[in-house]
Amino acid sequence: MSPLNPFEQQVLDAFLKGNQPELAVLRKQIDKIQVKARTHTGVGCFVDFQLPPTAARVTPAEMAFGDVNIEVEGVTAPVQALLYVIGGAIHFLEIAADEGEWPKEPVLTRINYLKSVEVPGGFDLVPSDERDPTALKHSLAGRQGQKK
């Protein structure tokens, strides 16, 4: 077990930014969270977390966030970041570049959000300094709310 590194801390802080009560519970988990495993995949990484059983849990118990946009030093391709909450606890972070090598110790050069915009024939995600309230609401609805 080890503490969060600066990269993980910055990414989690971005995912959990907001006034919603669910996000406040998840932010409190960061104070007690430990990294159980870091897996380098070549194009990204998985970071598995563990919380003590006494840490407060959030409801709904299963959520996924994917609206954080990150740029990493030395990575020229777009990077996807996903945060999973399972059992009411921050469970793991998944990050992958669309192509190219992932650095062993990533350094953020930019962090903001992805906002959905309509384009001919559908929609696209574009970087934005402000969080898209619709995307956040969808994530906070949890798995059951997302199926509706």
- Phi and psi for 139 in degrees, rounded to 5? -65, -45
Helix, coil or strand: residue 98:
coil
Domain count for the chain, please give it: 1
- Cβ(85)–Cβ(63) under 8 Å? yes
pLDDT of residue 135: 87
pLDDT of residue 146: 56
Would 128 be classed as within a structural domain?
A: yes
Would 111 be classed as within a structural domain?
A: yes
Domain range for 62: 6-139
Burial class (CB in 10 A: 0-12, 13-18, 19+), 108: middle
**Would you give per-residue pLDDT tens digits along the chain (148 residues)?**
999 999 999 999 999 999 999 999 999 999 999 999 999 999 999 999 999 999 999 999 999 999 999 999 999 999 999 999 999 999 999 999 999 899 999 999 999 999 988 889 888 889 999 999 988 998 999 876 555 4
Report CA dihedral (57, 61, 63, 68) to the nearest 10 degrees.
0
pLDDT of residue 62: 96
Helix residue spans in 20-141 (DSSP H): 21-30, 133-140
Would 132 be classed as within a structural domain?
A: yes
First to last CA, the chain: 38
Would 53 be classed as within a structural domain?
A: yes
Would 107 be classed as within a structural domain?
A: yes
Would 56 be classed as within a structural domain?
A: yes
Distances (CA, A) of 68 to 32, 71, 112, 121: 22, 10, 6, 24
pLDDT of residue 87: 96
Would 40 be classed as within a structural domain?
A: yes
Would 147 be classed as within a structural domain?
A: no
pLDDT of residue 145: 56
